[in-house]
Amino acid sequence: KTVTGFASATIGNVACGFDVLGFAIREPGDEVILTLHDSEPSTSPVSIKAIHGDGGALPKDPKKNTSSFVVLKFLEYLRTHKDIDFQGHIELELRKNLPLSSGMGSSAASAAAALAAANELLGSPCTKMELVHFAIEGERVACGSAHADNAAPAMLGNFILIRSYNPLDLVTIPPPQHLYCTLAHPHIEVRTAYARSVLPRTIPLKTATEQWGNVGALVSGLLTSDYELIGRSLVDVVAEPKRAPLIPGFYDVKNAALEAGALGCSIAGSGPSVFAFSSSKETAEQVGSAMKEAFSTIEERLDADIWVS
């Protein structure tokens, strides 16, 4: 039996919501193909048959690769919590369509696609909400931090607000009908672990106040389809100022997006991708052209891929 799982790119933080807010876009995404064999494995119950599109960068050791690691966690959970003792062997093939270290939730997409496929392969013993826990554990393997703002929306779709990590308490926020996201991915890599290391350990109370005012207003804007409020709240006074220097031309690209009519613009996850919101598809496409043009005219002359969803 063979099952294919798909999970799309996600954008973490959404400006002000560092580690607590993220959303899924429609495409692009990663695919994981799992094949179930009845024979017992000689070593691990999950093995990696092939990885396409990673340029050889991802580990093939099942315990170190995010997509196989989360399936191992899932199988362990079935044994300890559901009394299902898996005896067979799963072969995994990963089609990596998302660029690595891009800020597009690449590792979370691989994990969520693998979990969706594994759950279906074994007769859907877990709910998506249960699977989110393993997807988050995958992030720890991928970058050393178990942040959920990519993993949760990759698994569940929509905007997801993480009210609490322990216990995990997720709030689903459906996107307003006319909200469009433009995502620009410049062809450079920024590793999440590094982009987290440049952040301050503590922040002044005044900065925190400004940040949580924006998070609350952004959530309110999303729930009431108040596009102006969404735009005004797309402000990040904590991570963006520290991470902007890691993205050549970030402020040029942001200004270009705003001039082209975007409601707001910020860094996608830990970068280097940049996202903008617009309230019409036409504007979102114009914003995409403006962002691409801005990346290409800075000193570094970066080529950028653009997606509108």
Please report, in range form, the residues annotated as the binding site for ATP: 99-109
CA angle 282, 297, 286 (to 5 degrees): 0
Angstrom distances, CA of residue 45 to CA of 36, 48, 75, 79, 118: 10, 10, 9, 13, 12
- Decide whether 103 or 176 has the Cβ nearer to ligand HSE: 103
Interface with ligand HSE by CB under 6 A: which range of 118-126, 147-155, 160-168, 209-217?
147-155
Residue 295: CB minimum distance to ligand HSE, A: 19
Among 5, 8, 12, 99, binds ligand HSE (CB under 6 A): 12
- For the residues of 84-112, what is the DSSP string, one character each? ----SEEEEEEE--SPTTSSS-HHHHHHH
- Decide whether 19 or 293 has the Cβ nearer to ligand HSE: 19
Residue 288: CB minimum distance to ligand HSE, A: 21
Give the residue from 6, 2, 63 showing the smallest Cα distance to 30: 6
Provide the annotated binding site: 99-109
Interface with ligand HSE by CB under 6 A: which range of 23-31, 67-75, 190-198, 274-282?
190-198
Cβ proximity of 104 and 62 under 8 Å:
no
Residue 114: alpha-carbon gap to chain centroid: 15
Residue 63: CB minimum distance to ligand HSE, A: 22
- Which residues touch 234 (CB under 8 Å, ≥6 apart)? 14, 15, 16, 214, 218, 263, 264, 265, 266, 277
Among 3, 4, 6, 19, binds ligand HSE (CB under 6 A): 19
C-alpha 278/C-alpha 297 separation (Å) is 23
Interface with ligand HSE by CB under 6 A: which range of 13-21, 78-86, 214-222, 250-258?
13-21
CA angle 227, 280, 238 (to 5 degrees): 45
Among 269, 274, 290, 307, binds ligand HSE (CB under 6 A): 269
260 HSE (CA, 13 A, CB side): 26
Among 5, 28, 103, 221, binds ligand HSE (CB under 6 A): 103
Q: Site for ligand HSE (CB under 6 A): how many residues?
A: 15
Residues 206-245 touching ligand HSE, rule: CB under 6 A, are 239
- Decide whether 86 or 165 has the Cβ nearer to ligand HSE: 165
Residue 147 in contact with ligand HSE, rule: CB under 6 A: yes
- For residue 265, the one-letter residue type is C
- For residue 192, the one-letter residue type is T
Angstrom distances, CA of residue 148 to CA of 60, 82, 142: 24, 24, 12
Residue 239: CB minimum distance to ligand HSE, A: 6
C-alpha 12/C-alpha 267 separation (Å) is 9
Among 67, 211, 270, 273, binds ligand HSE (CB under 6 A): 270
Among 66, 110, 150, 278, binds ligand HSE (CB under 6 A): 150
Binding site for ligand HSE (CB under 6 A): 12-13, 18-19, 103, 105, 147, 149-150, 192, 195-196, 239, 269-270
